[in-house]
Amino acid sequence: MCIEETFIMIKPDGIQRGLLGKIISRFEEKGLKLIALKMMDIDENLAKEHYSEHIGKPFYERLIEFITSGPVVAGVLKGEKAINIVRKLVGATSPDNAEPGTIRGDFTINTAFNIIHASDSSGTAKKEIDLFFQKNEIFTYDLALEQWLGSK
């Protein structure tokens, strides 16, 4: 069984639009376990580190400006195949490709302002969790289902 941890971040537009609860609900309803959650401001250094793969792209400067423009909510979700499942629930980057039923498909109309980030691989998940969370901000607890599956 492939138990994974993955990083999510509700972007400033998700907070501004009052969608935090709805977005987190999608993950809870799916059965993913929330093991960390916090509201925070992202400073320029953290923004540049987080989005380093996009340096030089046409949208990079505005992306840094946008992600530092107001508080975000960062979280860690855990579960079987969590990384891929969370990306599927989030939907495609561009709203015209994001399927209805996904978070971006249901709530976004613009690629830049697409309300949520989620890790796209085990490598980025580890990097992003370490970048945003101290060890003591990540919680360990059991879900009943995990005991049945023997899958902590």
Annotated active-site residue 117? The verdict is: yes
Q: Which of residues 107-136 bind ligand ADP (CB under 6 A)?
A: 111-112, 114, 117, 120
Cα 150 to Cα 143: distance, rounded to the nearest angstrom: 11
- Shortest spacing between CB 124 and ligand ADP, in angstroms: 9
Q: Which of residues 42-81 bind ligand ADP (CB under 6 A)?
A: 54, 59, 63
Cα 147 to Cα 142: distance, rounded to the nearest angstrom: 7
Cα 125 to Cα 131: distance, rounded to the nearest angstrom: 10
Catalytic residue among 117, 118, 119, 133: 117
Beta pairing class for 72-80 and 3-10 = antiparallel
Task: Give residue 34's Cα distance to chain centre.
Answer: 11
Q: Which of 25, 52, 93, 121 binds ligand ADP (CB under 6 A)?
A: 93
- Shortest spacing between CB 114 and ligand ADP, in angstroms: 5
Cα 129 to Cα 119: distance, rounded to the nearest angstrom: 9
Give the residue numbers marked as catalytic. Answer: 117
Chain residues that interact with ligand ADP, rule: CB under 6 A? 54, 59, 63, 93, 111-112, 114, 117, 120
